[in-house]
Amino acid sequence: MTSAAPLPTGTELLARLDRLPVGKPHRRLMLQGGLGYLFESYDAVLLGYAATAVVALWKVESGMAGWLLASVFIGFLIGALIAGVLADRIGRRRVLMYALLVYVAFTLVAATASSPGELFLWRVLSGIGVGAEATMIVPYIAEFLPARNRGRNIGNTMMFIGFGYVLAGLSAVLVISPAPEPGWRIACMIGAAPVLLLLWWRRNLVESPRFLISQGRIAEATEIVERFEREIAVKGELPPVPETSEATEERKTSRRNALRQFAALWGPGLAGRTAVVCVLWFAIQATHYGYGTWLPTLLVLKGFTITKSFAFTLASAVAQVPGYYVAAAISERLDRKWTIVVFMACSIGCAAGLGTATTEVSIFCFIVALSFFMNGVAGPMYAYTSEIYPTATRTTGMGLASATARVGAISAPVAIGYLYADLGFGGVFAVLCGLLLVGAVVLAALGLRTAGRSLESLNATAEPVARVRDDRLS
C-alpha cells in the first residue's frame, strides 16, 4: 500500500500558477469577469440617459434629479464595503455569484417605479449588487494572472466597461428617445435579463488559489492549480517551475472581524498605500461619474436636442474602448502608476477644452477625447489597486477604494445639480479638472511601481508587519 504524495506548499503552488502562460482557463475567467463589467457599466450609465426622460416626464427639479443620478452609487458604496470584507472571509466566488442575483432582482423591480422616491430606493438596492460585483472582478482575476502581463490582461478585461457604455448609448438612442415613458423601463430590463445567463455560465467558477492558501486549504488550491496546468498543457509543454525561497503567502491567515479588516488597511506598511488609492479613486470616479451621468442633461441645457445629446454621448462611449486598450498596452512598459498619471493629465486638458468650447465640432471632439483618456485610466487603476495589497486584505482594500470612489460618484452628480446654476457649463468642468489634478499629483509623488512584479514581492514588506499587528490584536 503506497502513501499519498505530500501536498505542495503554498509557495510552490503560487510559483506553478505564476509561471503559466495566459491560456484558455485565464481567458474564460476574463470573459466571465468582463461580461460582469459590461452589465455594471450599462447599469451605471443608463440612468444618466433615463434621467433626461424621467426629469421631463415627472417634472423633477434639478436637486432631486441629482439624487436620482446618485442613487445607484449609494448602493455601489454599500455593496463595495460589504463585498470586500466578505470576500476576504468567505471567498471571492460566493460573493461574485450573490452580487449578480441582487442586481437582477432589484433592477427588474426598478423598471416598475412610478415616482422619484420609489425609483431612488430600487436603484440604491440594485446598486448594492452592482457595487459588490464591480469590486470583486479585478482582484479575483489578478490572483490568477502572471505578473509579466497582468496589467495588459486586466485592461483588456475592463474594455467590456466600454461595451456596456455603448450598449447603454444604443438603448438611449433606439429605445428611450423614440418613446421616453416605456423606453426607460424597457432599457432597464434589457440590462438585467442577460445576467441570468451569465449566472448560469458562472456556476462552475473556481475559487482563487491565493485565497485558499491564505486560509490553509492547500488541497483545494492544489486541485485548481493542477486543473489550470492540465488545460494549458494541451497546447504544449509547460514552462519550468522557478525556484522559490519565500513563503510569504503560506501561513494560514486568522479570521478578523470587519473592523479589524479595515483597521489592517491603515496599519504599518499599508496606511500610505491606502491613503493614495483613496485619494486617487475619489478624484477619478467623482470626475468620471459627475461628467458621465450629467453629460446628456448638460448638453440639453446648453441648447442641444435630446437626440443629438444622446448621439454625442454614444460617440463618447465608443471612444472608451480604444482608451482601455491603449492604456492596457502601455501600462506594462510605462508602469501602472505613470500610465494613470499621463492619462489623468490628458483628461485635464480635454475637460478644460470642453468647458470652454463654443462650437458644435469642438464640443464633439473634446467629448470623444475626454472619454478616451478618462475611461482608459480605469484599467491600470484597478490593476494597481489589486496589486498593492496582500491576499488577506486584497478585496477589503479594493472594497474600501471602491467605496471611497462611490462617495465621489454620489457627491459629484448631486453637487453638479446645485453648482450648475451658479457656475455654468464651464465652471462645472473647472471643478472636475481640479479634482483630477489633486489625484494625479498624489499618485505621482507617493505611488508605487508595480509592473512586472509578483503579488508576493510587492507585499513582502507590508505583509509581515500586517501579520504582526493582527497577532497582537488576536
More confident residue, 310 or 142: 142
Short-list 153, 99, 46, 125, CA closest to 399:
99
Q: Which residues contact 221 (CB under 8 A, 6 or more apart)?
A: 10, 13, 209, 210, 212, 213
Mean pLDDT of the chain: 80
Where are the chain's structural domains? Answer: 10-237+250-473
Q: pLDDT of 258-298, one tens digit each? A: 677 778 888 888 889 999 999 999 998 888 777 766 666 66
DSSP annotation of 423: H
Banded pLDDT at 422 (limits 50, 70, 90):
confident
d(CA 449, CA 433): 25
User: Residue 1's pLDDT is what?
Assistant: 41
Short-list 257, 245, 327, CA closest to 85:
257
Please report, for residues 151, 165, 310, the alpha-carbon distance to residue 317 in angstroms, rounded to integers and kept in the order given: 22, 5, 10
Q: pLDDT of 167-226, one tens digit each? A: 887 887 788 878 878 888 888 888 777 777 787 878 888 999 999 998 888 999 999 999
Banded pLDDT at 465 (limits 50, 70, 90):
very low
Poorest-pLDDT segment among 46-50, 149-153, 243-247, 305-309: 243-247
Banded pLDDT at 340 (limits 50, 70, 90):
very high
Helix (H) or strand (E) holding 412: helix 394-446
Locate all alpha helices (DSSP H) within 172-257, ordered by sequence: 180-201, 209-214, 218-233
CB contact at 8 A, 101 and 149: no
Q: Average pLDDT, stretch 377-406? A: 85
Please report, for residues 37, 120, 121, 230, 346, the alpha-carbon distance to residue 115 in angstroms, rounded to integers and kept in the order given: 28, 9, 10, 55, 40
Poorest-pLDDT segment among 79-93, 322-336, 384-398, 404-418: 404-418
Q: Which residue has the cell 447603454?
A: 168
Q: What percent of the chain has pLDDT over 90?
A: 11
Burial of 19-45, coded b for 16+ CB within 10 Å and e otherwise, reads: bbebbebbeebbebbbbbbbbbbbbbb
Helix (H) or strand (E) holding 123: helix 116-142
CB contact at 8 A, 286 and 409: yes
Domain covering 10-237+250-473 in this structure, CATH number: 1.20.1250.20
Phi, psi torsion values for 104, nearest 5 degrees: -60, -50
Please report, for residues 67, 110, 113, 231, 246, the alpha-carbon distance to residue 119 in angstroms, rounded to integers and kept in the order given: 11, 6, 5, 46, 53
User: Residue 472's pLDDT is what?
Assistant: 38
User: Residue 296's pLDDT is what?
Assistant: 65
Res 154 pLDDT > 80: yes
Banded pLDDT at 325 (limits 50, 70, 90):
confident
Q: pLDDT of 216-271, one tens digit each? A: 889 999 999 999 998 888 766 777 777 655 444 444 555 556 677 778 888 888 88
